[in-house]
Amino acid sequence: MTRPLRLLLSKAGLDGHDRGIKVVARALRDAGVEVIYTGLHQTPQMIVTAALQEDVDGICVSILSGAHLALIEQIYEFLKKNKMQHIPIILGGIVPEEDFKKLSKMGVKKVFTPGTSLKDIIDFVKSNILPQA
């Protein structure tokens, strides 16, 4: 039997809006995912270090402050330094559509914006992120 999916959930940057990520964390946990929640105010380096230590299958980042481009770019820099760029990133938050392309070019697998249903998030995660062997 494969082990359950292990995801890191994190609030990046200075933004304190954690309602969404906490709701998603509870929903993923209820759906059988192993959730590691870092809490607030994480720097890109802290996120990558946590992902490494926790040996996760994917990273879910929540940013509602508009700082997503700069922060995600830095997360990828640290991932590359640690040869972890294969780890999928999902972004949730207030993200203008004109940034979607730039984010996907950086490697972001999916951006979820306000109003997304929990079911859509769970379905996406389960069919697109696989537990590493």
Partner 1 sequence: MKFSTISDLEIKEVYTADDLKNVDLEHDLGRAGEYPYTRGIHETMYRGKPWTIRLFSGFGTAHETNRRYQLLLEQGQHGLSVAFDMPTLMGIDSDDPRSLGEVGKCGVAIDTLQDMEILFQGIPLDQVTTSMTINGPAMVLLAMYFVVAEKQGVALSKVGGTIQNDILKEYIAQKEWIYPPRPSMRIIQDMMVFCTRDVPKWNTISISGYHIREAGSTAAQELAFTLADGIGYVQAGIEAGLDVDEFAPRLSFFFNAHSDFFEEIAKYRAARRLWAKIMRERFHAKDPRSWKLRFHTQTAGCSLTAQQPYNNIVRTAIQALSGVLGGTQSLHTNSLDETLALPTEFSARVALRTQQIIAEETGVVNAVDPLGGSFFVESLTNTLEQEAKTLIEKIDEMGGIIAAIEKNFPQQEIARAAYHYQKQLEQKEKIIVGVNKYVQTEEESIETLYIDEAIQKKQVAALKKIKQERQDASVREVLEQMKQAARGKQNLMPLMMEAVRRYATLGEMCEALKTVFGGYTEKAVI
List residues near partner 1 by CB under 8 A. 13-19, 22-23, 25-27, 29, 35, 37-41, 43, 65-71, 74, 94, 96-98, 113-115, 117-119
Residue with Cβ nearer partner 1 (18 or 132): 18
Length of the chain: 133
State the nearest-atom distance from the C-beta of 85 to partner 1, in Å.
20
State the nearest-atom distance from the C-beta of 128 to partner 1, in Å.
20
Residue with Cβ nearer partner 1 (38 or 88): 38
State the nearest-atom distance from the C-beta of 88 to partner 1, in Å.
21
Contacts 24+ apart (CB under 8 A), 114-121: 114/20, 116/92, 118/23, 118/24, 118/27, 121/24, 121/27, 121/28, 121/92
**Which pair of structure tokens corresponds to residue 8?**
């890191």
Amino acid (one-letter) located at 85: Q
State the Cα–Cα distance between residues 29 and 48, nearest whole angstrom: 21
Residue with Cβ nearer partner 1 (86 or 115): 115
State the nearest-atom distance from the C-beta of 120 to partner 1, in Å.
10
